[in-house]
Structure formats: C-alpha cells, structure tokens
Amino acid sequence: MPFKALNLHPALIANIIKLGYEQPMPIQSQAIPIVLAGKDVLGIAKTGSGKTASFVLPILNKLLERSPSEKSRQPKVLVLVPTRELAIQVGNVFWDLSQELPQTIKSKAVHGGVSINPQMKAIYGLDVLIATPGRLLDLEGSNAVDLSKVQILVLDEADKMLNMGFQKEMQEIFEFLPTKRQNLLFSATLSKALDGIKRVMLTDPEVIQIADKVEDVSLINLSGFFVSDERKGPLLRHLIKEKDMKQVLVFTSSGYKADNVAYKLTKNGIDALSIHGKKSQSQRTEALEQFKAGELQVLVATDLISRGIDINALPYVINYELPRSPKDFVHRVGRTGRADKEGLAITFVTREETHHFKVILKKMKRYMEVVDSKEMVF
Ligand code: AMP
C-alpha cells in the first residue's frame, strides 16, 4: 500500500517523500486510518517499528482539517514520553513532517534538565506539546500551560513510563485533561501494570500489535572476537580503521569506561565522544545530534541510550563490553540493521565471559562465529 492510499494531505505526502520514506511501515498502514477516524488506539510496538510517524502523520492531518484557533496556552495535542531523548526525537519527527504545510502547525518538546523559562514562553501558540511528565507538571503548576483543551493524548512508551515510576504523575496529568478526547497508547510490551492505564485512558480501543522488529535480529550480521581486556582498545581502533567505519556506536557497561574508551580513541586521532547518565543533558543531546548527523565518527555509550532511542540504520555497533542481560544485548544490536537495512554488530568477549556470552546467544537463538584475536596483529 503506498502512502497516497492513506488519505493524507498532499503537503504531508510531500514531507514524507522528502524524508525518503517509500512505503508505510505496517504500524503506519494500520494506525493511520484508525487515528484519522477518531478512534482510540492501543499500539504494541517498539522503537524502530515506525510508530512515531504512525501517530504524527494522522495528528498533523487532523490539525490541518481544523481551522486555526486563537493563540493560547492550550495545546490541542499532548504527547507524553518517559525520557528527554524521546521527547527530542518525537519533537524532531513533528518538526520534519510539519514543514511547508498550508497552515502553520507549531509543536515543541519540553523536558527537564534544561531551564524552564524559555519553555514557559514557547508554550504560547503551540498546537502540539511533547513533554516528559515531571516537566509538564512543573509547567502546569506555574500556569504556563492549560491542558483543558487537549483533544488528542498520546502516551508513548507507556511501559517505560511505568518502569520509571511515573504512575502518580500520569494520574495527576490525566486530571487536568478533558474527559472527551482521543487517546493513543503505545507500549513495547503488554504488562499487568499497563492494564490500569489502559482502563482509565482508553475507550473501546483498536489494538494493533506489531511483531518485534528490534528483537528480529535476522537482518543483523553478528560477529565476535575473543579478546583480553588490555587488547580491547587496540582491537577497536584496528577494526574502525580496517573496516573504514564512518559511524559506529560502541557500548560499554559503565560511564567511567565509556569516557575512558572515548578518550583513548580521541588520543589516537579517532573522533569520539561518550554519553551516559552522568553527562549533562546538553552534552548528551549534542553528542547524539552530532552522531546522528554523521558528524561524529564514534559514539561511546552505556545502555542508557540503547533503549528507546532511534539512531537510524547504523552500519556498525560494537559491544566493547558485554551487557548483563540478553535483552540489553538485543536492544544494543538492534541499533543497527534498522528499517530494512543490513548492519554489523561486533561483540568483544573475554575468556571469563564465555559462559555468560553463550547464555545470551542461546536466548537470542542465534549462532555467532567468534574469532580468537590472540594471533591477530594490530
Ligand atoms: P520509530 O519506530 O518511530 O522510532 O521509527 C524508526 C525509524 O524508521 C525512524 O528512523 C524513522 O525515520 C524510520 N521510518 C519511519 N517510517 C518509515 C517509513 N515508512 N519508511 C522508512 N523508514 C521509516
């Protein structure tokens, strides 16, 4: 099915083409008609499935169909997200798809970790507000936003929102919303905890379940090296040079290690930055933006950014250190081979980790050839 068959405004189709999307992804062809029809949606889909555009496109289309209203502090659409990174990412999709529309549609992502004052000002005249729960409540508390005119509520990555302990904040936010509204709930998984949110939020929803793309590692080429801790740095530099890697995401298991690996790469003339929980929000955003734009060769990260963050179809991911759980392994290697492009994920394994590594492979039901790097000269 082409995008044209989805009854979207031609200006939106033009923006889709500009982004290089050729065909709707399954969640898009399923969700767009339902959202356009004004129904509630429960979408079970992970990052990487194309879920963001599946709600952004029909929401923009609906806003285009309505005549513009007076500027106010009353957004018509609220998108709640668990993390700052996801807020920025969803904000970018809204921005990309709202270019050159016949009617200006203003959206903005607000999140903690940065000054609240510019956000307070920016809310005036917004159509779409994308927010993390804490910052939204702060803005509400200082009367910078009035949620009583929200017509569409999107809850993105609801399972993560609950895991991060946002239940109370969400309930509080619901109190500020009008009862009559359209609700779109997206979650990577279905859980008992989600039942409560589903009950209070959704009315007779259409359920869309998308097979787990990230856990479908079949498009990802996996390879590994047995390597001692001392030789990991030289092996990493050797691989980056030998394979002429222009964009590679390297995972470590601690922020300290991430800093150390990035420092050593830089010292050896390879452009690298690290990102982890102890970095400031602006450092995290900047490194991620540079990396996504292809201006930074190596990003060294902890699992913090592995979940939820979409870095499009990376050619290379390197596990400098093994993650603790098979799930994290899948999330890490899932950063490559996205949206139908092949990728290569390389894993460094020390001899002591052999057993743990075998457990991961067994859980993933994948075989991986592991080369002993002892004889390699680098
Ligand atoms: P998401 O699951 O929303 O994080 O999207 C995953 C990735 O797929 C993003 O990098 C999008 O830019 C990309 N994407 C979304 N829709 C399409 C499409 N129809 N065709 C190709 N890529 C897409």
Mutate which of 17, 310, 340 for ligand 1 pocket (most atoms within 8 A of beta carbon): 310
Domains of the chain by residue range = 3-209, 214-375
373 lines ligand 1 (CB under 6 A): no
Give, in degrees to the nearest 5, the angle at Cα 39 between 173 and 33: 125
203 lines ligand 1 (CB under 6 A): no
Environment class of residue 295 by beta-carbon count within 10 Å: exposed (0-12), middle (13-18) or buried (19+)? Answer: exposed
The proportion of the chain whose per-residue pLDDT surpasses 90, expressed as a percent, equals: 66
The answer to pTM > 0.75 is: no
Class of domain 3-209: alpha beta
Q: Which atom number of ligand 1 is nearest to the Cα of residue 45?
A: 2
Is a pLDDT exceeding 50 seen at residue 214?
Answer: no
Place 307 in a pLDDT band, splitting at 50, 70 and 90: low
For residue 339, report the distance from its CA to the centre of ligand 1, in Å. Answer: 7
Question: What's the pLDDT at 213?
Answer: 47
For residue 341, report the distance from its CA to the centre of ligand 1, in Å. Answer: 12
For residue 180, report the distance from its CA to the centre of ligand 1, in Å. Answer: 30
Please indicate whether the domains covering 3-209 and 214-375 agree at the CATH topology level.
yes
Tens digit of each residue's pLDDT (9 = 90 or more) over 49-62: 899 999 999 999 99
Average pLDDT over residues 57-80: 94
For residue 62, report the distance from its CA to the centre of ligand 1, in Å. Answer: 21
Mutate which of 15, 19, 186 for ligand 1 pocket (most atoms within 8 A of beta carbon): 19
Q: Which of 18-22, 30-34, 96-100, 338-342 has the lowest mean pLDDT?
A: 338-342
Residue 186 is inside which H or E element, if any?
strand 182-187
Average pLDDT over residues 293-309: 82
Q: Which atom number of ligand 1 is nearest to the Cα of residue 89?
A: 4
For residue 334, report the distance from its CA to the centre of ligand 1, in Å. Answer: 14
Helical residues (DSSP H) of 202-337, grouped into ranges: 229-242, 255-267, 281-292, 326-333
Tens digit of each residue's pLDDT (9 = 90 or more) over 361-376: 888 777 788 899 988 8
Question: What's the pLDDT at 145?
Answer: 97
State the Cα–Cα distance between residues 332 and 350, nearest whole angstrom.
18
Place 280 in a pLDDT band, splitting at 50, 70 and 90: confident
Class of domain 214-375: alpha beta
State the Cα–Cα distance between residues 176 and 112, nearest whole angstrom.
20
